Amino acid sequence: MNGAHRNPSQQLSSPRSLGRSLPALAVGLAASFWAPLTLAAPGEDPDDEFQRQPAVDPAADPAVQQRPIEQRPIEQRPVERERQRGVHPASGGYLNVSPGLVQIPLNDGNVGYQWGLGGGYMLRTDGLFAIGLGANFEHGIGDLGIEQPYVRPIDHQLRAQFEMTPGVLLANDRVFLHAVVGVGYAALLQRWERADTIDTDVFHGVAFSPGVGISFRVFANMSVGAQVGANLQWFELRNTAFTAHNMDVKVLLGWMF
């Protein structure tokens, strides 16, 4: 009987008893270790109950939406959200109309009148830089400055060009300060009016038009501005080449859409 009776402490400390209890102990430790990790997102403290609460969008708060845009935090402004997507709200199509002003010949001739129109697409980056890509048409009317009895020489300069206007937007996107680079087709129509006859010569050539300009947004998407530039033109007729360069000063009325 004495050999059959054992102390309980001796039973727990026997190698066979420890072998049976180790698997259960390992399962319990693993469960206690993995349970907090399944409730917490990566980078969060599993003991922080505030972090595990669903995030609230501040822009959805009616009190935030009623504030003026310039008084909201940067991340809650619609313009900043569009910039984060890589699309700036100032990008879009444009149309320009030039009702005048003048063209000044650099060769021979007198000051004449010029008008034109153009359009394209204005691409704005996340910074201040912007560039317009489009085309324009210009028509200048003047005279050759030739003084002869009973002769009235008149010339028409026509240009159809691809145009690029790189520049910067300033003053909260209300001012566009830019350069102008145009290249394309040019035609010169010379009309000679004599006492009893009218002769017309047509010359074809190319034009390169550099310049600078500025425009101001005055209301919604409407702007007014001015440009000063040069029109360098090369013509040919019957194997005869000549130039007809001039400068122009023009007023612009623009519309963004």
- DSSP calls for 210-225: EEEEEEEEEETTEEEE
DSSP 172: T
The first and second tokens of residue 104, run together, are 């000044």
Residue in the structure block whose two tokens are 């209890």: 21
Contact 111, 100 (CB under 8 A): no
Q: Which residues contact 167 (CB under 8 A, 6 or more apart)?
A: 129, 130, 131, 176, 177, 178, 179
Q: What is the pLDDT along the chain (257 residues), one digit of tens a residue?
A: 444 444 544 444 455 555 565 566 665 665 555 554 444 445 555 555 545 455 555 555 666 666 665 566 655 555 544 444 444 556 899 999 999 889 998 877 788 999 999 999 999 887 889 999 999 999 999 876 656 655 667 789 999 999 999 999 998 888 999 999 999 999 998 887 777 777 888 899 999 999 999 999 998 889 999 999 999 999 987 788 889 899 999 999 999 88
What pLDDT is attached to residue 22?
59
What pLDDT is attached to residue 8?
47
What pLDDT is attached to residue 220?
80
Kindly report the pTM of this predicted structure.
0.63
The distance between the two most distant Cα atoms of the chain, rounded to a whole number of Å, is 154
What pLDDT is attached to residue 12?
45
- DSSP calls for 89-139: TT-EEEEEEEEEEEEEESSSS--EEEEEEEEEEEEE-SSSEEEEEEEEEEE
DSSP 189: E
What pLDDT is attached to residue 37?
47
CA distance 87 to 3: 89
Which whole-number Å values give the CA distances from 94 to 134, 175, 215, in the listed order?
A: 9, 15, 13
Question: HSE (CB half, 13 Å, CA atoms) of 227?
Answer: 30
**Local structure of 205: helix, strand or coil:** strand
CA distance 139 to 202: 15
CA distance 107 to 109: 7
Q: Give the CA angle between residues 52, 54, 58 to the nearest 5°.
A: 130
Give the chain's domains with CATH numbers: 88-256 (2.40.160.20)
Q: Could you tell me the end-to-end alpha-carbon distance of the chain, in angstroms, rounded to an integer?
A: 105
Contact 228, 211 (CB under 8 A): yes
Which whole-number Å values give the CA distances from 27 to 12, 31, 36, 168, in the listed order?
A: 19, 6, 15, 67
Contact 65, 108 (CB under 8 A): no
What pLDDT is attached to residue 78?
56
